[in-house]
Chain A
Amino acid sequence: MKKLINDPEQVVRDMIDGILYAHPERLKNVPDTSVLVRADAPVHGKVALVSGGGSGHEPAHAGYVGKGMLDGAVCGEVFTSPTPDQVLEAIKAVDGGAGVLLVIKNYTGDVMNFEMAAELAEAEGIQVTKVIVNDDVAVENSTYTTGRRGIAGTVFVHKIAGAIADQGASLEEVERVALKVIDNVRSMGMALTPCTVPAAGKAGFEIPEDEMEIGMGIHGEPGTHRAKIESADTVADQLLSLVINDLNLQADDKVAVMLNSLGSTPQMELYVMNKTIGKVLQSKGIIVHKTYVGEFMTSLEMAGCSVSVLKLDEELTELLDAKADTLGWK
């Protein structure tokens, strides 16, 4: 393992402290927790949004804390859901009296810990609603299983639900819009190399030099299959097709596209991928309202990327375009 860290057990704490030194005007830490909230939290009379999850996905989620997006982010241990007491501290710190929406990525642990926190907060008289993001088309959806994972598409939920909350909408309205985004966003990822959780000290899996894993999750969970590595054209087309089919996109549909690096894939490769994505969407008559290219939800130093597509209507377009001011999204 070759990493710029101190004590592997302290890596999340050290990161939070580093963030606080860099951005004290934007973010503050709830004392004795791994919770980061807006410097001006709680914003009175506004519905507050809290998200979070394991660390290692930066800029998710602390990078989306700020005006027009999240009010608070809970940083769990690397790839490990935060605990209910930490989530509760976040809820209490951001509640401005209008209720709190929890944006949860669909993982067994995240759902359990956030739900426990919601119960504790309700017992303290705070109104809490939760939405669960499950945009990863690599996983077959079924009520019998855990279901689809939440990956990079979650950032669209933060952006759009955050925008309507910023306009003064009620908790019910914010929830409605968040659910609308969840219904209309799909993602598909792939990995070229694995990543190493600092406390584990070695990579969780191997991918041979000439292979890639299609559909890999953001914690290195298995994807749909291994294959020999192909050109960017082929890979982009493959990922995009699955997303388009799952969303049942037709000509004249309007979309936003997010091309997300999993950590060490450079912008050059992302743009090479996007050449194919842009071309394919154009050839199908699908209108691209906006394309976002960069690091939005990473997986430590994994090489690879994910493609997310959000189908837009007028309301979602307007909220997506609304101004936000956070580290990870402006």
Chain B
Amino acid sequence: MSITFNQLTKWIVRAAEQIMKQKNYLTELDQAIGDGDHGINLSRGFQEVVHNIQTLETDDIGQLFHTIGNTLIQKVGGASGPIYGIAFIKGGAILKGKKEITVSEFSQFLHKSVEAIKGIGKSEVGNKTVLDVWTPLADYLQEKGENIDWQEAISYCWEQAEKTKSMKAVKGRAAYLGERSIGHLDPGAVSSSFLFEALFETLGEGNEAK
């Protein structure tokens, strides 16, 4: 099973729709433990991403991811912009020149992204951040490979986001709450889950989605 350039474009359009739809929910999660702008900023960024990738004249997945990352860095702001942006730019670099990729290659992209996020955020798994979704998901996709069940992958993704509830934030603005951050979902982990849910839904529709 391969993942095509067109499927990945469809993924991002779908993810953007979902993030815009969940704008208030994401912002509310952020108001509880951060500074209350996560949904607003991500919506602005993904709206621009959709605009930029639809005018992209290429079928190179590396270039697609570079454009996504660059747009997010330039349009989102805050910490989310650089984090999501660098994930797509540095992770996407390994997909340069590819028109279609395997599940295992997508998991390699995630592994690279995780390294980039750790670098820029100086954070680790368990710190109540996006890494708590991206990292386990990278391992999960690697383990499942071509035998993956997309519905199960969606559930797995949300289970990881749910786990951030019991974690204590030490990075980002939620860190100012310390112990008081426990009991709240991490907004970044939730937006990441919306992002990957959209991917798995797109891939679950199979190749008729071409």
Which A residues form the contact surface with B (CB < 8 A)? 9, 54, 76-85, 107-109, 112-113, 116, 139-140, 144-146, 149, 197, 199-200, 204-205, 217, 219-222
Per the bound structure, the CA–CA distance linking A78 and B27 in Å amounts to 14
Decide if B81 touches A83 in the complex (CB within 8 Å).
yes
Per the bound structure, the CA–CA distance linking A79 and B30 in Å amounts to 13
Decide if B41 touches A217 in the complex (CB within 8 Å).
no
Decide if A83 touches B74 in the complex (CB within 8 Å).
yes
CB-CB under 8 A from A109, the residues of chain B are 77-82
Per the bound structure, the CA–CA distance linking A222 and B79 in Å amounts to 18
- Shortest beta-carbon distance from A53 to chain B in Å: 10
CB-CB under 8 A from B36, the residues of chain A are 79, 197, 200, 204, 219-220
Decide if B77 touches A146 in the complex (CB within 8 Å).
no
Given A83-B73, A84-B82, A108-B121, are A146 and B175 also a contact pair (CB < 8 Å)? yes
Per the bound structure, the CA–CA distance linking A200 and B171 in Å amounts to 23
Decide if B77 touches A81 in the complex (CB within 8 Å).
yes
Per the bound structure, the CA–CA distance linking A149 and B81 in Å amounts to 20
Decide if A222 touches B180 in the complex (CB within 8 Å).
yes
Per the bound structure, the CA–CA distance linking A324 and B80 in Å amounts to 36
Binding site of B, secondary structure by majority: helix, strand, loop or mixed? helix
Given A200-B27, A204-B31, are A108 and B81 also a contact pair (CB < 8 Å)? no
CB-CB under 8 A from A145, the residues of chain B are 170-171, 175
CB-CB under 8 A from A9, the residues of chain B are 44
Per the bound structure, the CA–CA distance linking A200 and B31 in Å amounts to 10
Complex A-B, nearest 8 residue pairs according to Cβ-Cβ distance, in ascending order: A109-B79, A109-B78, A204-B36, A112-B82, A80-B77, A219-B35, A108-B79, A204-B31
Per the bound structure, the CA–CA distance linking A84 and B180 in Å amounts to 32
Decide if B31 touches A81 in the complex (CB within 8 Å).
no
Decide if A139 touches B81 in the complex (CB within 8 Å).
no
Decide if A77 touches B41 in the complex (CB within 8 Å).
yes
CB-CB under 8 A from A113, the residues of chain B are 77-78, 81-82
Decide if B37 touches A80 in the complex (CB within 8 Å).
yes
Question: Count of chain B residues with Cβ under 8 Å from any Cβ of A?
Answer: 31
Cβ-based interface call for B75 (8 A)? yes
Out of A84, A112, A144, A221, name the residue touching B35 (CB < 8 Å): A221
Given A145-B170, A204-B35, A222-B177, are A77 and B77 also a contact pair (CB < 8 Å)? yes
Cβ-based interface call for B173 (8 A)? yes
Decide if A83 touches B173 in the complex (CB within 8 Å).
no
- Shortest beta-carbon distance from A117 to chain B in Å: 10
The interface centre, meaning the residue of B81, B120, B177 with most chain A CB atoms within 10 A of its CB, is B81
CB-CB under 8 A from B172, the residues of chain A are 108, 146
Cβ-based interface call for B40 (8 A)? yes
Decide if B73 touches A84 in the complex (CB within 8 Å).
yes
- Shortest beta-carbon distance from A25 to chain B in Å: 30
In the complex, 18 of the A-B residue pairs with CB atoms within 8 angstroms, ordered by the A residue number, are A78-B37, A79-B35, A79-B37, A80-B37, A82-B77, A83-B75, A85-B74, A108-B79, A109-B78, A113-B81, A116-B82, A140-B178, A144-B170, A145-B171, A217-B176, A219-B35, A221-B35, A221-B173
- Shortest beta-carbon distance from A199 to chain B in Å: 5
Per-residue A-contact encoding for B75-97, CB less than 8 Å = 1, 0 else: 11111111100000000000000
Per-residue A-contact encoding for B46-87, CB less than 8 Å = 1, 0 else: 000000000000000000000000000111111111110000
Per the bound structure, the CA–CA distance linking A82 and B79 in Å amounts to 10
Per the bound structure, the CA–CA distance linking A76 and B73 in Å amounts to 13
Decide if B77 touches A112 in the complex (CB within 8 Å).
no
CB-CB under 8 A from A79, the residues of chain B are 35-37
Decide if A112 touches B120 in the complex (CB within 8 Å).
yes
Per the bound structure, the CA–CA distance linking A108 and B171 in Å amounts to 8
Per the bound structure, the CA–CA distance linking A165 and B44 in Å amounts to 37
Within 8 A of A (CB), among B159-178: 170-173, 175-178
CB-CB under 8 A from B76, the residues of chain A are 83
Per the bound structure, the CA–CA distance linking A151 and B36 in Å amounts to 18
CB-CB under 8 A from A54, the residues of chain B are 77-78
